[in-house]
């Protein structure tokens, strides 16, 4: 995220995608005078004003510099908004995320929100211990993505659209939890708990370079025997439903409660676009840690 500030002008924000050390042409950046944008948010059906609605200019996340929250009368005020055409992102847990175009000369706006869906639930371990999960990510129709933090063993995802959603836990000890697949319809609140699998095998992997040293990498387990995709994009698609490892301080990668059977471990280096795979059978008497040595002459993957 690039932020440009200058006295007498509105802050300017632009988001760029670039690799480390890459030179990026930012083009022409034009600063404009600041303005104040006021508005009111109401329920689409009842017409009642809505409080605690988040309004952001330019970006959906808290990275947006110009953001505000509606009061009890549904009114909000955004300050230091640049005089350029942009988009307001309007969100509330019980309503669908709404985008509102904002003209370069527009200083007031009226927003109506339609009721959405909210999914919440608990993180339940098989032995009652505290779940070491950081958050929940959700992928929905047309690539929609939502994220929520886990607090005291619970999560809540709001502003969801009807359709098919996949929910995944993230954190240091979550490989024992399966992906939740939900089909959401209508509006209102839905409960969906993550329940740790009973039994299974604890699998520990140790990725090494071709000289036998631990490597800085991310690891996944994919059921069955699979080949390494030739591109990073192909790998992302293939690994979307895989088990992600819990990394230890000694370079090991652990997976808890893995059902016995044949799996393929996919190892991706963090510093270079390189990955390799190795298939093996998971069973109670397997070696631990299982050493996975990088093949000699491994070539970088295509984007």
Domain chopping of the chain, boundaries: 33-113, 117-195, 201-293
Model pLDDT, residue 227: 84
What is the Rg, in whole angstroms, of the alpha carbon atoms belonging to the chain?
A: 24
Model pLDDT, residue 172: 67
Q: Is residue 18 predicted with pLDDT exceeding 70?
A: no
Q: Is residue 248 predicted with pLDDT exceeding 90?
A: no
143 or 16, which is more confident? 143
Q: Is residue 125 predicted with pLDDT exceeding 80?
A: yes
Model pLDDT, residue 102: 95
The C-alpha atoms of residue 75 and residue 49 are separated, in whole angstroms, by 8
With CA atoms as reference, report the closest residue to 197 among 170, 178, 181, 220: 178
Model pLDDT, residue 52: 95
DSSP letter, residue 130: P
With CA atoms as reference, report the closest residue to 277 among 238, 241, 232, 226: 226
Model pLDDT, residue 156: 93
- Band (pLDDT 50/70/90 cuts) for residue 88 is very high
Q: Is residue 16 predicted with pLDDT exceeding 70?
A: no
- Band (pLDDT 50/70/90 cuts) for residue 103 is very high
Q: Is residue 113 predicted with pLDDT exceeding 70?
A: yes
Model pLDDT, residue 64: 85
- In words, the CATH class of domain 117-195 is mainly beta
Mean pLDDT along residues 196-203: 82
The C-alpha atoms of residue 38 and residue 294 are separated, in whole angstroms, by 58
> In CATH, which superfamily holds the domain spanning 33-113?
Immunoglobulins (2.60.40.10)
Mean pLDDT along residues 126-144: 85
Q: Is residue 303 predicted with pLDDT exceeding 70?
A: no
Cα distances (Å, whole numbers) of residue 233 to 31, 200, 219: 36, 31, 16
Pick the CATH number of 201-293 from 2.60.40.1120, 3.90.230.10, 3.40.190.10, 3.30.910.20: 2.60.40.1120
Q: Is residue 249 predicted with pLDDT exceeding 90?
A: no
With CA atoms as reference, report the closest residue to 84 among 105, 67, 68, 101: 105
Partners of 2 in the β-ladder: 14
- Band (pLDDT 50/70/90 cuts) for residue 165 is very high
């Amino acid at each position: 995220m690039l932020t440009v500030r200058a006295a007498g002008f509105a802050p300017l924000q632009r988001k760029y995608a670039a690799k480390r050390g890459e030179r990026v042409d930012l083009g022409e950046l034009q600063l404009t005078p600041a303005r104040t944008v006021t508005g009111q948010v109401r329920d689409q059906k009842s017409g009642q004003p809505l409080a605690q609605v988040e309004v952001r200019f330019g970006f959906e996340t808290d990275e947006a510099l110009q953001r505000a929250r509606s009061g009890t009368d549904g009114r909000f005020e955004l300050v230091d908004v640049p005089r350029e055409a942009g988009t307001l992102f309007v969100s509330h847990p019980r309503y669908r995320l709404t985008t509102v175009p904002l003209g370069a000369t527009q200083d007031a706006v009226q927003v109506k929100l339609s009721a959405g869906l909210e999914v919440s639930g608990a993180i339940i371990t098989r032995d009652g211990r505290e779940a070491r999960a950081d958050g929940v990510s959700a992928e929905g129709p047309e690539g929609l993505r939502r994220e929520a933090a886990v607090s005291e063993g619970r999560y809540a995802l709001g502003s969801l659209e009807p359709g098919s959603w996949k929910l995944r836990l993230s954190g240091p000890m979550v490989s024992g939890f399966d992906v939740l697949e939900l089909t959401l319809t209508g509006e209102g609140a839905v409960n969906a708990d993550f329940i740790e699998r009973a039994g299974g095998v604890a699998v520990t992997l140790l990725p090494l370079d071709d000289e036998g040293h631990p490597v800085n990498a991310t690891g996944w387990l994919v059921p069955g025997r699979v080949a390494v995709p030739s591109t990073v994009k192909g790998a992302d698609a293939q690994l979307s439903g895989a088990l992600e490892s819990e990394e230890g301080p000694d370079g090991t990668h652990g997976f808890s409660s893995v059902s016995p059977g044949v799996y393929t471990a996919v190892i991706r280096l963090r510093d270079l676009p390189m990955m390799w795979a190795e298939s093996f059978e998971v069973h109670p008497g397997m070696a631990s840690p299982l050493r996975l040595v990088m093949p000699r002459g491994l070539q970088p993957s295509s984007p």
